[in-house]
């Protein structure tokens, strides 16, 4: 599970900055990552793996 936690921490540090609208997550593996507190408006998620991602 440590690998999953490290992955989530790294991803959240990358997408919580002020330039989220310019980020391109096309094809990224966002599987099982808690994105509930992240504003994804304008982010490119085309082809991203969102299986079991928490988007609430």
Q: Could you tell me the residue ranges of all domains in the chain?
A: 1-56
CA separation for the pair 43, 7 (Å, rounded): 19
Residues 6+ apart with CB under 8 A from 1: none
| pLDDT higher than threshold 50 for residue 51 | yes
Q: pLDDT tens digit string along 5-49? A: 677 777 777 765 545 556 788 888 888 888 888 878 888 889 999
In this prediction, residue 2 has a pLDDT band, given cuts at 50, 70 and 90, of low
Two structure tokens written together for 4: 């999953």
Report the distance separating Cα 7 and Cα 30, nearest Å. 9
Which pLDDT score is estimated for 1? 47
Residue 48 has what pLDDT?
A: 92
Yes or no: say if 35 and 56 are a contact pair by the CB < 8 Å rule. no
* pLDDT of the residue at 56: 83
């Amino acid at each position: 599970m440590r690998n999953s936690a490290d992955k989530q921490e790294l991803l959240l540090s990358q997408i919580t900055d002020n330039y989220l609208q310019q980020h391109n997550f096309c094809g990224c593996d966002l599987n099982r990552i808690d994105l509930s507190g992240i504003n994804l408006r304008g982010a490119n998620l085309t082809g991203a793996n969102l299986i079991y991602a928490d988007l609430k």
